Structure 1
């Protein structure tokens, strides 16, 4: 197969696969975000998912998080405590909505909210960047045609051709990405509910409460004291010789002092 012919076929294949119709419409990318309060975060997340699916959109990301605001434990019984916790639940959902339905979707979301803290939309015109990519793509095609006419395996034409085709594909993908972002708008939803108080009976982890009662402990301590006293006497019995010598020295010194005085 002729090398120049294969190069030309390759460019034609890439061009036919990546090119779009000569679209001259404005390329407006819409992004929006909302923050609002709801009655129940989990139920709202389920409602949002159903609404997004019904309008032909998709959920790109979501998360639900509960943060403890305050917690306390009070005695409930000898071996259990009542744990009282105040927590705040928040949810984040990022979705892609058909651009023509973005306004209707935000209105639907606003009706789910108890109170809307913040709502905003941004429009980014990518028409110039889109046109620049299309013109650069045409330049790559012209350059490839010129290279193919003088293509040789011994020269630098192969590397140059590959570089131009890779750059050609990059520009095509950039425009495909712009088309996708124009068709589907990205909206970020932050929603939260009022602080919720939850009670739970848990095991008592205070070891002091598991000790015996006062009178039982008093009796045990008296018994322990008698044991210690007996051990003390047994210890003294081992030192009987030292005690005898001590008494002997004491009375001997006392006798010598009295004798000197007399």
Structure 2
């Protein structure tokens, strides 16, 4: 009886060992799959941490001021204070009309009506942007419009970086395989363009661009200038009449003096005339012969 029980116990032990072995293999497979999933999660975590925050801030403002010229100087001072830089500055005055009022024969009052506007583009570090905009707003009489935008270019920047790496690897492979030089040059130029765009993004992140437009009320300017019309400098009629009499007498006196300077010729002419008369009276036949 005992001999019959022994084979049954041996079979039971073998079945138990087989079950344990299969369970061990199942645990190993589970551990392997969990390790793979953990490695995938770690790669995803590495990718997420590799995303650099690239926030591009821009702002613009249009406002009215009391004095455009003074406001331009104040904005330049504020820009330097907040470690920024003026990139563009244009100031323009538009003449709305003018009028001349005669003050005398040699001067006129020139009255001009004009409007003055100015445009400025400045780069400001993003951390100082809000304070800078508030300081500029205090320079205006009132604000027409004010706007600030934040553009998140983090994913675009990461995408450009990864694509640049892919193209660099492709260029290395094509270079080793001695591909067509023209195609290789196109790929290299594309890499350069992407790197330049990335540098531009870095610059936009480092400095925020602020566009400012301001103006003042219409201004009236009065100034006394010389009269450019030469006809206005002519004397009046009575002054010219008196001047004519004076000039006529002066001309007559000059004529008398000129005649006086010719007295010798006048006496010679008179003497010659008397002599001719005398000979004509003494020898009338001679003069008749000359005439005939």
TM-score range, shorter chain: 0.5 to 0.7
Please tell me whether residue 167 in structure 1 is matched to residue 190 in structure 2: yes
Q: How many residues align?
A: 198
Structure 1 position 207, deviation (Å): 3.9
- SS of aligned partner of 1:66: strand
Matching residue of 1:190: 213
Q: Which residues in structure 2 correspond to 1:232-251 (within 5 Å)?
A: none
Structure 1 position 202, deviation (Å): 0.9
- SS of aligned partner of 1:69: strand
The structure with the larger Rg is 2
After the TM superposition, which parts of structure 1 deviate over 6 Å for at least 4 consecutive aligned residues? 219-222
- Greater strand share, structure number: 1
Structure 1 position 103, deviation (Å): 1.3
- Greater helix share, structure number: 2
Matching residue of 1:206: 229
Cα separation, 2, equivalents of 1:139 and 1:103: 39
Structure 1 residues 186-195 or 212-221, which shifts more? Answer: 212-221
- SS of aligned partner of 2:138: helix
Cα separation, 2, equivalents of 1:149 and 1:194: 69
Matching residue of 1:99: 126
Matching residue of 2:204: 181
Match of 2:54 among 14, 27, 31: 27
- SS of aligned partner of 1:112: coil
Matching residue of 1:49: 76
Matching residue of 1:6: none
Q: 2:52–2:158: 8 Å Cα contact kept in structure 1?
A: no
- SS of aligned partner of 1:123: strand
Please list every run of 5 or more consecutive structure 1 residues that lacks an aligned counterpart in the other structure.
1-21, 223-262
Q: 2:110–2:225: 8 Å Cα contact kept in structure 1?
A: yes
Matching residue of 2:143: 116
TM-score norm. by structure 2 comes to 0.61
Alpha carbon RMSD of aligned pairs, Å? 2.4
Please list every run of 5 or more consecutive structure 2 residues that lacks an aligned counterpart in the other structure.
1-48, 246-292
Q: Which has the higher contact order (CA 8 A, sep 6+)?
A: 1
